[in-house]
Amino acid sequence: MRARVHMHLEPAAWPHKGLSPVNKVLAALILLAVFFAVVETEPIVVERRGAAILTIEAFFTIVFLVEYVLRVWIAPEKPAYAGRFGRLRYIVSVPALIDLVALLPGLFVFIGSEAFVVRLFRLLRILRLARLGRFSMAIHAITDAMKSRQYELLMSLTIAGILLLISSTLLYLIEGSAQPDRFGSIPRAMWWSVATLTTVGYGDVYPVTPLGRILAGLTAITGIGLIAMPTGILAAAFSDAIQTQRKEERDDVKGDGR
Amino acid sequence: MRARVHMHLEPAAWPHKGLSPVNKVLAALILLAVFFAVVETEPIVVERRGAAILTIEAFFTIVFLVEYVLRVWIAPEKPAYAGRFGRLRYIVSVPALIDLVALLPGLFVFIGSEAFVVRLFRLLRILRLARLGRFSMAIHAITDAMKSRQYELLMSLTIAGILLLISSTLLYLIEGSAQPDRFGSIPRAMWWSVATLTTVGYGDVYPVTPLGRILAGLTAITGIGLIAMPTGILAAAFSDAIQTQRKEERDDVKGDGR
Amino acid sequence: MRARVHMHLEPAAWPHKGLSPVNKVLAALILLAVFFAVVETEPIVVERRGAAILTIEAFFTIVFLVEYVLRVWIAPEKPAYAGRFGRLRYIVSVPALIDLVALLPGLFVFIGSEAFVVRLFRLLRILRLARLGRFSMAIHAITDAMKSRQYELLMSLTIAGILLLISSTLLYLIEGSAQPDRFGSIPRAMWWSVATLTTVGYGDVYPVTPLGRILAGLTAITGIGLIAMPTGILAAAFSDAIQTQRKEERDDVKGDGR
Amino acid sequence: MRARVHMHLEPAAWPHKGLSPVNKVLAALILLAVFFAVVETEPIVVERRGAAILTIEAFFTIVFLVEYVLRVWIAPEKPAYAGRFGRLRYIVSVPALIDLVALLPGLFVFIGSEAFVVRLFRLLRILRLARLGRFSMAIHAITDAMKSRQYELLMSLTIAGILLLISSTLLYLIEGSAQPDRFGSIPRAMWWSVATLTTVGYGDVYPVTPLGRILAGLTAITGIGLIAMPTGILAAAFSDAIQTQRKEERDDVKGDGR
């Protein structure tokens, strides 16, 4: 019995391709629960649909509580958590602790206070999303690609930091007296600088003196270079990954031909 | 007679390279009709040139109606629509139904009401554009290129979604009390977050607290990474396509040399 | 005598590497003249430095007039303009006509009127910049690279156009009644749409309804794809050009080894 | 004794991998000193924490002064600065002069004036950052990559300049009469043009006439091409660098196999 529950709940234990139907439903419920956790921060929704929200939260809490208890029960099926204190070791493992922490807000839904701590506490439910990582290895693949070029990407960030410092120092010197509340210190000028270098350009702060505008134009053009660097690095990394894969396929074909 | 009309109307049946003169004229008329459908939504144009618009619409409706009737008539020339009920099967085929639906608004130009349903109904004329797809295979080529990397592009979208959730949750916590109407809930903060991560930066919403601005700067820098990922993936995909093509050309040359 | 002037004025006739000293000075003067043509459109400059501007313009006009006369004089040195009517044929050639048209405003500096035609006429001096093209082949190199991928780049533009049409049609339907002056017709919504898809985001127009904002977010994310496409195409094209060049170098080395 | 200090202070003299503990502490102190130099430009910080700032500055000044004196003392350990006048030659070398200039503001912290010259003088402390370059060769690596494609990157800049000139000239002609203070001269229109072409889009200036908006849309689309060009060039350069490295590794493996 425990072995069958384990087979359905543990992705690695499922003998067929993909996820088991139980895990598919759980993944969908997690996405739905995160969606509701996001929507419930909206005061208008809370006002109008307060009762419905409590019911929905109660439902999710019961489902995930049952899932949590089942996962603790089947833990010894895995060799890592077998033997004495196996379940205890599972309970204090990082994924199980995240599950528990994400469950807590649901157990205290009756707290109606709007204090910051309560608000923060409720948002723990969004942590449920992290549990989806268990079902998918896709995120690991892309982070691996980034890790292979982490040195170059870090250099891009360093250059970005230096450009940020230079442009905000210059604008502080030039625009500081014309707009003291916006460019009156380097940290203040940095708010403009980061918006310009990343080409976001909110438009709440911008230079007004001719020299300031010329420097802002140069900063914006430099910003394009800042976009070009990581993009170029990642493009090269992805291109390299594809070619390595192609080469392996070709070598396999040659091997078969012998 | 029907065979000749078929040869001129059906791109695949044209024995020469490119499109037949009749289809070239039709493609131009479709572009013109879509242009007019767009312009006619402008109230100033309707006020000043109401009569001219009705005439133009009547002209397009007659031309596309004649084309539709001709296409129904020649349908049995194609093996797929030959035999009994062939024309009926053509009429209920997807492209013919799109033709018919795009024709409908022209048949009811006399409805002067400005109700939402009528407005929506009129816009069906823009669907005529979809008919151009019949004349060109270019769009299919680029969508194929995207499909070959759909897994990686989907991962980029997922990462974008996660970053959107993280940044709007943080800004909601930090700026929520300072600007309740703009950051007072995660869905509200998302409007700022999507504008910042995509580097659009409308500037209608931006953080004002120092901590909020630091996080906004980090979000904007992350946004550059978000642009870099799909760009890098597509660059690698296009590069791979070019190389495969070059390799094939080289292999052909080697084959000829034997 | 005429042969020597020809050698110094005609870039192709210069026996040494690079540009002749005379042409270097002329290129610098052209850049300076364009700079002044730009600055002189500023009313504040005209008010304060009116007299100085007239002197500067007179100087440039004389220099370029002398250059023009010399170029007409030496024209028969080139085989293309040799023989009878050779100089006349040179005068009606496109580059010589551009030279002449760019000279005209200088000859009429005394017209003090600020009428639109006069303003436009003065700007003809900016055409002098086109003459720099004669000294440099760099621009041709990059346009060649673009031409090799013109089909894919054109496809990107077509897709951009379709996305522009779709997003502005949707926003017109959704936001049209909430903000009739900004989204009350498809052409009006297009102004918002182009600013969002290109991630410029002026912030003068943005949706206010929840559904409009969700669609705007999707449009902005699509805009990133729109940036990614041409970038990816060009990256692949440049990468291909480098590899072809490397391969040629390698083949040359192998050829030498035999 | 001097040899041991030299070994700990001079990165190249350190026999182990990475930086010596002394240099690691110095690098951290430099980053901290720059951080404080930036923060101290903020008037609120100066008001509230004036005394603390003086203490911090005194601390940094003493540390870097000691370091400077030590570096002068150990200079003759390097062959380049050995022999008579070796220390003097070190003192007038560029890195030592930067160290000295960055030290000066700390020696004059008692100047309480807020005059522009004093402000500028204080910012010399940011120059300390340049000293970090001594500890890291990372920046050199990425600038080398850029140098290898400097010709193409320069061409991108030239094309950007030409597009800037064309778009601002056109907008000046079209929008000049409608918004004379914003588009009344080409230099004024350039402020809008640079914000649009780099897709920053502050939103303080934008065209209002229909023709101006159409041209602005075209400018924004061109801006995407402007981002695509340097990105594509850098992507190709990085891709080429990776492949060259891979090829070398493969050649090494082949060599070992013999």
The model's pLDDT over A88-125, given as tens digits with 9 standing for 90+, comes to 999 898 888 888 888 887 776 555 555 566 667 777 77
Q: pLDDT-based confidence at C57, cuts 50/70/90?
A: confident
- At D243 the pLDDT is 75
ipTM: 0.84
Count of CB contacts below 8 A, A vs C?
Answer: 12
- Segment D15-20 shows an average pLDDT of 79
Contact between C236 and B246 using a beta-carbon 8 Å cutoff: no
- Segment A138-158 shows an average pLDDT of 73
**Is pLDDT at C183 greater than 70 in this prediction?**
yes
C-beta contacts of B75-78 below 8 A and 24+ residues apart: B77/B2, B77/B3, B77/B6, B77/B10, B77/B13, B78/B6, B78/B10
B234: nearest CA partner in chain C: C232
Q: How far apart are CA B205 and CA A200, in angstroms?
A: 12
A226: nearest CA partner in chain B: B224
- At D192 the pLDDT is 95
Count of CB contacts below 8 A, B vs C?
Answer: 124
Residues of chain A found within 8 Å of residue D129, distances taken between Cβ atoms: 162, 165
CATH of domain D2-136: 1.20.120
For residue range D69-122, what is the model confidence (pLDDT) as tens digits?
Answer: 998 988 888 888 888 888 899 889 888 888 888 888 777 655 555 556 666 777
- At C226 the pLDDT is 84
Phi, psi for residue B60 in degrees, rounded to 5: -60, -40
Domain locations along chain D:
2-136, 143-257
Q: How far apart are CA B62 and CA D143, in angstroms?
A: 64
- Tokens, residue A55: 């019911």
Task: Write out the DSSP string of B56-80.
Answer: HHHHHHHHHHHHHHHHHHHGGGSGG
- At D254 the pLDDT is 64
For residue range D163-206, what is the model confidence (pLDDT) as tens digits?
Answer: 899 999 999 999 988 999 999 899 999 999 999 999 998 989 99
- At D106 the pLDDT is 73
Instruction: Give the best residue of D181, D185, D194, D205 to mutate against chain C (max C CB count within 10 A).
Output: D185
Q: How far apart are CA A227 and CA D81, in angstroms?
A: 42
Q: How far apart are CA A65 and CA A60, in angstroms?
A: 8
- Segment D221-233 shows an average pLDDT of 85
CATH of domain B144-257: 1.10.287.70
CB A40 within 8 A of CB A79: no
- Cα C133–Cα C137–Cα C140 angle in degrees, nearest 5: 90
Residues of chain C found within 8 Å of residue B236, distances taken between Cβ atoms: 232
Q: How far apart are CA C93 and CA C99, in angstroms?
A: 10
- Segment A29-52 shows an average pLDDT of 85
Of D39, D231, D241, the CB nearest to A228: D231
- At A85 the pLDDT is 86
C143-257: in CATH 1.20.120.1200: no
Residues of chain D found within 8 Å of residue A237, distances taken between Cβ atoms: 242
Instruction: Give the best residue of D198, D231, D240 to mutate against chain B (max B CB count within 10 A).
Output: D231
- Tokens, residue D127: 């120059």
Of B199, B200, B231, the CB nearest to D231: B231
- At B33 the pLDDT is 86
Q: pLDDT-based confidence at D162, cuts 50/70/90?
A: confident
- At B155 the pLDDT is 77
Residue type present at position B165: L
Q: Buried (b) or exposed (e) across B30-53, using 16+ Cβ within 10 A?
A: beebbebbbbbbbeebeeeeeeeb
Q: pLDDT-based confidence at D142, cuts 50/70/90?
A: low
Instruction: Give the best residue of A185, A193, A196, A240 to mutate against chain D (max D CB count within 10 A).
Output: A185
Chain C touching partners, 3 or more CB pairs below 8 A:
A, B, D
Smallest CA–CA distance, residue D157 to chain C, in Å, is: 11
- Tokens, residue B38: 């767009």
- Cα D214–Cα D215–Cα D216 angle in degrees, nearest 5: 90
Q: How far apart are CA C224 and CA B153, in angstroms?
A: 12
For residue range C8-50, what is the model confidence (pLDDT) as tens digits?
Answer: 888 777 888 777 888 888 888 888 888 888 888 888 888 888 7
- At B195 the pLDDT is 93
Q: pLDDT-based confidence at C7, cuts 50/70/90?
A: confident
Q: How far apart are CA D47 and CA D228, in angstroms?
A: 47
End-to-end CA distance of chain D: 50
Q: How far apart are CA B57 and CA B91, in angstroms?
A: 23
Asked whether this chain's domains B2-136 and B144-257 adopt the same fold, the reply is no
Contact between D200 and A188 using a beta-carbon 8 Å cutoff: no
Q: Using 70 as the pLDDT threshold, list the residues of chain B that sit under it.
A: 108-119, 131-142, 144-145, 253-258
**Is pLDDT at A44 greater than 90 in this prediction?**
no
Contact between D202 and B203 using a beta-carbon 8 Å cutoff: yes
- At A186 the pLDDT is 92
Task: Write out the DSSP string of A101-138.
Answer: HHHHHHHTTT-----HHHHHHHGGGGGHHHHHTTT--H
- Cα A28–Cα A32–Cα A34 angle in degrees, nearest 5: 120
Least confident of B103-117, C189-203, D56-70, D242-256: B103-117
Instruction: Give the best residue of C224, C226, C245 to mutate against chain B (max B CB count within 10 A).
Output: C224
Instruction: Give me chain A's average pLDDT, please.
Output: 82
- Tokens, residue D110: 């008692």
CB A118 within 8 A of CB A104: no
Q: Buried (b) or exposed (e) across C69-100, using 16+ Cβ within 10 A?
A: ebbbebbbbeeebeeeebbebbbeeeebebbe
Smallest CA–CA distance, residue B187 to chain C, in Å, is: 9
Q: pLDDT-based confidence at A258, cuts 50/70/90?
A: very low
Contact between D202 and B199 using a beta-carbon 8 Å cutoff: no
Q: pLDDT-based confidence at C258, cuts 50/70/90?
A: very low
Residues of chain A found within 8 Å of residue C199, distances taken between Cβ atoms: 199
Residue type present at position D21: P
Would you call B31 helix, strand, or coil by DSSP? helix
CB B171 within 8 A of CB B183: yes
**Is pLDDT at C214 greater than 90 in this prediction?**
yes
The three state secondary structure string of chain D is CHHHHHHHHCHHHCCCCCCCHHHHHHHHHHHHHHHHHHHCCCHHHHHHHHHHHHHHHHHHHHHHHHHHHHHHHHHHHCHHHCCCCHHHHHHCCHHHHHHHHHHHHHHCCCCCCCCHHHHHHHHHHHHHHHHHHHCCCHHHHHHHHHHHCHHHHHHHHHHHHHHHHHHHHHHHHHHCCCCHHHHCCHHHHHHHHHHHHCCCCCCCCCCCCHHHHHHHHHHHHHHHHHHHHHHHHHHHHHHHHHHHHHHHHHHHHHHHHC
Q: What is the DSSP letter of C137?
A: -
For residue range D20-63, what is the model confidence (pLDDT) as tens digits?
Answer: 888 888 888 888 888 888 888 888 888 888 788 888 888 888 88
Count of CB contacts below 8 A, A vs D?
Answer: 125
- At D258 the pLDDT is 44
Q: What is the DSSP letter of B200?
A: -
Smallest CA–CA distance, residue B113 to chain C, in Å, is: 15
Crossing angle of helices A150-175 and A186-197, in 10° steps, is 130
Residues of chain C found within 8 Å of residue B198, distances taken between Cβ atoms: 199, 220-221, 223-224
Q: How far apart are CA D20 and CA D23, in angstroms?
A: 5
- Segment C125-154 shows an average pLDDT of 69
- At A116 the pLDDT is 66
Instruction: Give me chain B's average pLDDT, please.
Output: 82
- At B54 the pLDDT is 80
Chain C residues interacting with chain A (CB cutoff of 8 angstroms): 199-203, 231-232, 235, 239
**Is pLDDT at C218 greater than 90 in this prediction?**
yes
Q: How far apart are CA A95 and CA A92, in angstroms?
A: 9
